[in-house]
Structure 1
Amino acid sequence: MTNDLLGRHRAVLPDWLALYYEDPIEITHGEGRHVWDAEGNRYLDFFGGILTTMTAHALPEVTKAVSEQAGRIIHSSTLYLNRPMVELAERIAQLSGIPNARVFFTTSGTEANDTALLLATSYRRSNTILAMRNSYHGRSFSSVGITGNRGWSPTSLSPLQTLYVHGGVRTRGPYASLSDADFITACVEDLIDLLGHTRAPAALIAEPIQGVGGFTSPPDGLYAAFREVLRERGILWIADEVQTGWGRTGEHFWGWQAHGQNGPPDIMTFAKGIGNGMSIGGVVARSEIMNCLDSNSISTFGGTQITMAAGLANLNYLLEHDLQGNSRRVGGMLIERIRSAAAQVPAVREVRGRGLMIGIEITRPGTDEADPKAAAAVLEAAREGGLLIGKGGGHNTSSLRVAPPLSLSVAEAEEGAAILENALRSIQ
């Protein structure tokens, strides 16, 4: 049955639409932190549909909200008043920390980042964008044009002039050997030098923790230091919270808060986890930025009633059950457990991250040379053991990504860590 579906997939879908595993699996249903495939195999899910099933599979509160809303009306577009959309926008505006915030809903993180670029370039009357090396911001024409990860940017053509900034990866590059304070100083000096050689950019867009890049991040405070330089020049700061938002990092509700000494971003994008699997993305911005467009615009599917109902129920559950705190507590234990196991595996260059957002970089032992085949072997071994994880990284996708639903229990974290330890040992 699976082989038949695989053949049909290959016959009608693009070759570049990648599938995990030598023998791809079809996930048929899920519950809590577990999913099942078409052959009846049960897996502990440590990737959540690429960080999207943020709370739990088949969460009763969300499925009930979706079912009840579907029985009333599913969709009407943004041309009509929409109570669930207004209610979720009110909650997100308040939680964002951005003063006098306005919220616009989209259907994905790609579309959210595309909208943020439209706002920033229109507001600043500039098509120059600063982006981080090793970054990823989506698959639209404009968002691949600012993606600093070669493996996910299929064209050099772009409507934007993009300039790439140092700092998104702490342990690689020309400043890796510096202390955190000196690393930040060097990156700021590089930014200032870069700005002296270009027309005034519209904005800097940055992921507080780079998701597809392998869960890499700078020292806390780097973007606050960048913000000071940008603000002096009127350049906007866009925080891409598509993967870091809603408490996943444990220490903060938003990833930008680790760099918030100079205030919140001018624009923030979000998606993935807020819908717990439903298609929700969006942009939050100061009102004068959001309102700067001088032509009509709508979103046919952004903010549709059924997704907004899911988002409201999911956000309520997240806050009422302190899943940010759970991410901090269980994630802290999990990362230490993984580090302990990885210390015995020479191919593991680094275990990094915070909360339930953990990256494991695989290289050829004793070197900084990426080993994508070994990383793929760990992915396969973990699946054989009953654990689903992800891949990423800017160096030939040699990093493993661990990002379970935020309701993960201690027992499940221990179970997953044990499977992952065996998978890592299998490549020695």
Structure 2
Amino acid sequence: MTHHSELLARHRAVLPSWLALNYDQPIALVDGEGRHVRDAEGNQYLDMFGGILTTLSGHAVPEIVAAIREQAGRIVHSSTLYLIEPQIALAEEISRLVPIPDAKVFFTTSGTEANELALLLASTVRRSNQVLAMRNSYHGRSFSTMGVTGNRGWSASSLSPLNVNYLYGGYRYASPFADLDDAAFVEAAVADLRNTIATTTAGDVACLIAEPIQGVGGFTSPPDGLYGAFKRVCDEHGILFVTDEVQTGWGRTGLHTWGIDAHGVEPDILVFAKGLGNGLSIAGVAARAEIMDSLPANSISTFGGNHLATAGALANLRYLLDHDLQGNAAKVGERILRGLRDDLAATPHVAEVRGRGLMAAVELVDSDGAPSPALASATVEAARRHGVLIGKAGLAGNVIRVAPPMSITTEEADQGRSAIVAALREASAIMS
């Protein structure tokens, strides 16, 4: 049996020091089935984080595994210089599902790469490198996507090929508009948008890029309708609207297929990733045909949309639709959120329980009301000891995130919620 301490020593010898790891004593996950996983030392866990919202349908789902095995036994790769039937079939399904009429689709290997393409398309169409982005946002780790990320903890450089201005609205709890009701909040955020366009840009802005629910930011979101109001302002100026659905796509929010649907927006460009592949490396962009076809040079993707990834993703998408995992996300997600709110109502250091569907978050503060990343880390550690894996995020690293596979049962949800509550109470008692 492999020991985690041995793996950690080998990891540190050959991998970058800035490659983040969970836990004081990191673990390796080696097996999974349904919503459960096992680590290299034989410990079992209920997975309530799904590889950062990526294991959408569950671990080792037979229908998906069969499709991957069948495709791997035939051909894995050819590059996009050749026609790829599962890629075409998957694009047809996605074009039907996105809220963009007659959309065209391009596949990449990661959400970062997909956001890069979205920014390239918008800047090409608009002939501008000016971009509007949201404070507290995260869009990837590459040069351009880091440049539109409004979260200091994930921005390694101030250098960028883009001229970026940041807007209020995505993080309500810590916003200067936090005390306003929904209508007044939207009005104030729209006024900030108009003022930003008028005072800090040259007018010909390429796009506004936004996550409907900010993932790395701590599952934060504005009132429904805010991005609809933003889109109307963008339309006045010809500014394209890019919705980053890397974490909110495929029905995870429960009531909608896409997070942006809650705002009544028909985006110009939609970015997807993570859950589509259920762990396979696949992401992409859907856009209006005239936008997708706007690039004036040839291009290919060596790995994007390859036979194996698209065959597996197609099986995963069909499993998701056939088993109504979106409906399950709505039902079980509401159960988790309601339970967390009830169980933690009198727990010290809990500033807010928020979320939608199977995206639940708990924002933690110290006795003075300041963000408490130490408490969040202690809670994540305690949850692992209780046999449950959860995540940590937020601008200050003080938010715990709960985002299990969308096939989670009510019994598993109750088990996971109880363990998280117990873990938080233990950590809170130690910190008090």
TM range (shorter): over 0.9
| Aligned equivalent of 1:318 | 320
| Aligned equivalent of 1:380 | 381
The one-character-per-residue Cα deviations of 1:148-185 (angstroms, maximum 9, x if unpaired) are: 00000110000000000110011212111001100000
| Aligned equivalent of 2:223 | 219
Give matches, 1:217-296, under 5 Å.
217-260=221-264, 263-296=265-298
Alpha-carbon RMSD across the aligned residues, in angstroms, is 0.7
For residue 206 of structure 1, report the CA deviation from its aligned partner.
Answer: 0.2
- TM-score, normalised by the number of residues in structure 2: 0.97
| Aligned equivalent of 1:183 | 185
Q: Tell me how far apart the structure 2 counterparts of residues 26 and 322 of structure 1 sit (CA, whole Å).
A: 31
The one-letter amino acid of 2:191's match is: E
Give matches, 1:5-404, under 5 Å.
5-197=7-199, 198-199=201-202, 200-260=204-264, 263-365=265-367, 367=369, 369-394=370-395, 396-404=396-404
Q: Tell me how far apart the structure 2 counterparts of residues 297 and 234 of structure 1 sit (CA, whole Å).
A: 26
Contact 1:346/1:366, CA 8 A, preserved across alignment: no
For residue 365 of structure 1, report the CA deviation from its aligned partner.
Answer: 3.1
Contact 1:347/1:366, CA 8 A, preserved across alignment: no
Contact 1:274/1:311, CA 8 A, preserved across alignment: yes
The one-character-per-residue Cα deviations of 1:324-372 (angstroms, maximum 9, x if unpaired) are: 00000011011111111211211110010010001110101351x1110
Q: Tell me how far apart the structure 2 counterparts of residues 208 and 280 of structure 1 sit (CA, whole Å).
A: 21
The one-letter amino acid of 1:90's match is: E
1:181 is paired with a residue whose SS is: helix
1:123 is paired with a residue whose SS is: helix
Number of matched pairs: 424
The one-letter amino acid of 1:405's match is: P
Unpaired runs of 5+ residues, structure 1, are: none
1:196 is paired with a residue whose SS is: helix
- TM-score, normalised by the number of residues in structure 1: 0.98
For residue 18 of structure 1, report the CA deviation from its aligned partner.
Answer: 1.1
The one-letter amino acid of 2:400's match is: L
1:411 is paired with a residue whose SS is: helix
Contact 1:348/1:365, CA 8 A, preserved across alignment: no
Q: Tell me how far apart the structure 2 counterparts of residues 304 and 391 of structure 1 sit (CA, whole Å).
A: 32
1:162 is paired with a residue whose SS is: strand
Moved >4 Å (runs of 4+)? none
For residue 68 of structure 1, report the CA deviation from its aligned partner.
Answer: 0.1
The one-character-per-residue Cα deviations of 1:57-104 (angstroms, maximum 9, x if unpaired) are: 001111100000001100100000110000000000110020121000
2:16 is paired with a residue whose SS is: coil
For residue 267 of structure 1, report the CA deviation from its aligned partner.
Answer: 0.1
Q: Tell me how far apart the structure 1 counterparts of residues 233 and 413 of structure 2 sit (CA, whole Å).
A: 41
| Aligned equivalent of 1:415 | 415
The one-character-per-residue Cα deviations of 1:235-288 (angstroms, maximum 9, x if unpaired) are: 00000000000000001010000011xx41000000000000000100000000
The one-character-per-residue Cα deviations of 1:384-420 (angstroms, maximum 9, x if unpaired) are: 00000000001x1100010000000000000001101
Q: Tell me how far apart the structure 2 counterparts of residues 338 and 393 of structure 1 sit (CA, whole Å).
A: 18
2:241 is paired with a residue whose SS is: strand
Q: Tell me how far apart the structure 2 counterparts of residues 40 and 345 of structure 1 sit (CA, whole Å).
A: 33
Unpaired runs of 5+ residues, structure 2, are: none
The one-character-per-residue Cα deviations of 1:172-221 (angstroms, maximum 9, x if unpaired) are: 12111001100000000111111112112100000000000000000000
The one-letter amino acid of 1:103's match is: V
